[in-house]
Amino acid sequence: MSPAQQSAIRKGINFRSVDSQPEGLSVRVSPLRAPALLLTFGILSVIQLWLFQTGFYDWLFPQRDYVFAPYTGEHSIAIRTYVISFYISYSIYASGSWIARVQFATDIILRFLAICAVLDLINSAFLSVVGAPYPLTVVQIVAGMIGFGLFSLMLIERGAMPEAKLVKTGEQQNLRMLLRFFATVTIAGMLSAFVGSLNSPIVQEMRELTLLGGIGPGVFLFLPLLFLQLYILGVIERAISAAKDFSAPISVIVPAFNEEHIIAETIRHIDEAARYYGEPIELLILDNNSNDDTVQVAHNAIEAATSIDGRVIHVARAGKSYALNQGVQEARHDFILRIDADTQIGENNIELAIQNFHDPHVGVVGGIPIPPGGGLFDRARLVEVLLKHGYYAPALSAFWGLIGVPGMFALYRADALRKAGTFATGMNGEDTDMSFRIGELGYHAIVDQRVRYISEVPATVAHMREQRMRWFRSVYHITARAKDALTYRDLSVRGKLVLPYMLLNSARRAMMVPILIFGVFQLLTDTGTDNVLVWQSIIAVLVGAPALVAVAAILINREWIALLGMPEYLIFRAMRAWYTLESVLSIRIRRSVDPVTQTSKINGSEKAT
């Protein structure tokens, strides 16, 4: 098949299914809604920045932001004005009744202002005791983080979310992992402070680099040094615990919906991997109501295979999770490999992945999904996966903090999989939810960066939009379904540390495009802050540290060709931020429940009784 034919097939894929828009939990969002939100946000921001610029409110807000106490120094962004402007704009264009959106706006703004008032009162107390306030930059950074976190928490509280399901817990190694984490934090902090204190010409030049956002080399180096340590620990620990001679029979489950264009190739690659592996391989193709020739193509491919025992199972109820649960129920072996129908595994993938289960603590193993190449987003996606799965995932696994192992390729210990329960239905993110619950049982979730497989990447903007809105919405669905992990008394690295970070990062990404717009407006209106700081902050968000860390991840994974995709990756990051904003707009905001009214949930939707 020629590259042109492959490209035409990829562009013609029917990518929508019942999983694209979980019933009762989300609604379709017009492509015009996000631009309308940003236009409204821009108008609100300009009005407030202009009012502060007049100086009329300096007697109340001398910092020209909603700051109620004196501070030293200046801030680069009037962060509180930005957060409030975003809250109002989001509430106007969110999904849900107008009453629900008004309630959401009122609640979140009052909460945010109350928290800011507390921060300012603490500063006033600090001023009265010490005789000098602390820097404005510090409190504004804190206020910004609170603004991001509060937005995510309010979405879970007021948004239509999956019904919570108790997270089963097992014996954890939290204390040892927390000690490891804080030891690496300490080392990274000490090294960063040392570099920041140097007065060498190189360090002085780094302080002036706009690319660093004006934050200084010491602060800039902290996170890269932290994750580099964790990455090295994760890679070493995985290599030590694996055993080359460990093997066992495996059941492979492949959910399929309208996959006639790719399913034969997927089966052929599984057959080649089975031949290379040498142990018995059971293949279950789980047809989930396909209306094309998926079933016949799969039958023909299984008959042509030489090293697998395969069959096609019809799953009548629509939804990938229903197909997966049927596959787990039918699987006969002690290890179950989940593969998406558009994933082509390498011949050594099964052999390498199973080696990690020599360690009895390992519950699920993933790999690195490499794009097929030639598509609109493939080069940018390659940089993304090398950074996320080839660098951050091994680093998180070093302190047992890895939550999500993608369902494109996930090898499970069958006992752990069944103890954790069934794959969640009627929501997004069933794969991450499962690997999270396996981790909470006391098992280790890891990514073996030696396991590299080909995974399909959307070839059109429409498909990419559908995929990313589904992926980004899943962060809230997973957290809502497992929210007791945030609150139960038992210590959990994933529940108490990583899950909140995921929520914070998701909100930050959703609010990234607005903050760029706000920074430009503040730069133009000159509210009295240092324009150089504002400009540096804008560039830092657009390029900044993530780009430099991405280059490091490419070099570490020795995928040199990915360096050519860096310009596209920077554009792709902006697209991800846009899709994240659209994904939170698709979450239906609910009215606050009257104590007298009883509300029940049926299949994720509300029904008053």
pLDDT tens sequence across 40-54: 999 999 999 888 888
pLDDT number for residue 608: 33
Helix (H) or strand (E) holding 447: strand 444-455
pLDDT number for residue 395: 95
Amino acid identity of 108? I
pLDDT surpassing 60 at residue 240: yes
pLDDT number for residue 297: 96
pLDDT number for residue 171: 84
Q: What share of the chain in percent tops pLDDT 70?
A: 86
pLDDT tens sequence across 560-579: 999 999 999 989 998 999 99
pLDDT surpassing 80 at residue 166: yes
Q: If you count them, how many residues does the chain have?
A: 609
pLDDT number for residue 598: 35
Q: What share of the chain in percent tops pLDDT 90?
A: 64
DSSP string, 459-515: -SHHHHHHHHHHHHHHHHHHHHHTTHHHHSSS--HIIIIIHHHHHHHHHHHHTHHHH
pLDDT number for residue 602: 32
Give the C-alpha separation, 322 to 288, whole Å.
8
Task: Give the CA distances from residue 276 to residues 248, 306, 347, 454, in Å, rounded to whole numbers and listed in that order.
Answer: 13, 12, 6, 17
Select the highest-mean-pLDDT range: 308-322, 486-500, 534-548.
Answer: 308-322
pLDDT number for residue 539: 59
Higher pLDDT, 132 or 377: 377
Confidence of residue 250 (pLDDT cuts 50, 70, 90): very high
pLDDT surpassing 60 at residue 218: no
Give the C-alpha separation, 392 to 227, whole Å.
7
The SS3 of residue 413 is strand
Confidence of residue 160 (pLDDT cuts 50, 70, 90): very high
Q: What is the mean pLDDT of residues 287-298?
A: 92
State the DSSP code for 405. -
Q: What's the pTM?
A: 0.89
Mean pLDDT value across the chain:
86
- Hey, what are 455's tokens? 């995974």
Query: Quick one: three-class SS letters along 164-205?
Result: CCCCCCCCCCHHHHHHHHHHHHHHHHHHHHHHHHCCCHHHHH
Q: Which segment of 8-22, 84-98, 130-144, 302-316 scores lowest on mean pLDDT?
A: 8-22
Confidence of residue 543 (pLDDT cuts 50, 70, 90): low
pLDDT surpassing 80 at residue 523: no
pLDDT surpassing 80 at residue 540: no
Q: What is the mean pLDDT of residues 213-221?
A: 53
Q: Which segment of 17-26, 31-40, 189-198, 522-531 scores lowest on mean pLDDT?
A: 522-531
Give the C-alpha separation, 88 to 92, whole Å.
6
pLDDT number for residue 138: 77
pLDDT number for residue 11: 60
Q: What is the mean pLDDT of residues 451-478?
A: 94
pLDDT tens sequence across 575-600: 999 999 999 999 999 987 533 333 33
Give the C-alpha separation, 226 to 413, whole Å.
30
pLDDT number for residue 75: 63
pLDDT surpassing 80 at residue 533: no
Please tell me the number of Cα atoms within 13 Å of 322 on its side-chain side. 14
